[in-house]
Amino acid sequence: MAMAMDAFGSVFGEAKPPVTIRMRPVLFHAHAHAHTDDVSQLCLLATDLHSHAWDRSLFLSDIDDLRDDVGIGGSCSDFLDYLKSCLSSGEVNLIFPHNGQA
């Protein structure tokens, strides 16, 4: 699995905020770290370069849960390829919880 994480590399892009929320453009960076065969993570960072910044680290168990939520079958490596393709598409949208609740 560490090889799949290493193969992810890095993705930079601009996410689109919801139309109903007036925000500055948000830039993001996603990159993978394979520390060992047992500890790998996908790091996601986003900022409007003004006053807001977000970060999230997804470990392999989180990535498996996300794959199940999305409903994509296949290996974790296939899902990471799919995720990288989506993040590279130029169609990344931000979704915020309604009324500030997760």
Taking only the tens place, the pLDDT of each residue in 8-63 is: 889 999 988 777 777 788 899 999 887 766 668 899 999 988 888 889 999 888 98
Q: What is the DSSP letter of 49?
A: S
| Domains in the chain, CATH or no CATH each | 2-100 (2.170.210)
Encoded tokens for 35: 């520390």
Sheet containing strand 53-59, edge to edge, reads 10-15, 26-34, 40-47, 53-59
The CA–CA distances, whole Å, from 98 to 11, 90, 102 equal 28, 24, 8
| pTM of the complete model | 0.76
Q: How confident is the model at residue 70 (pLDDT cuts 50, 70, 90)?
A: confident
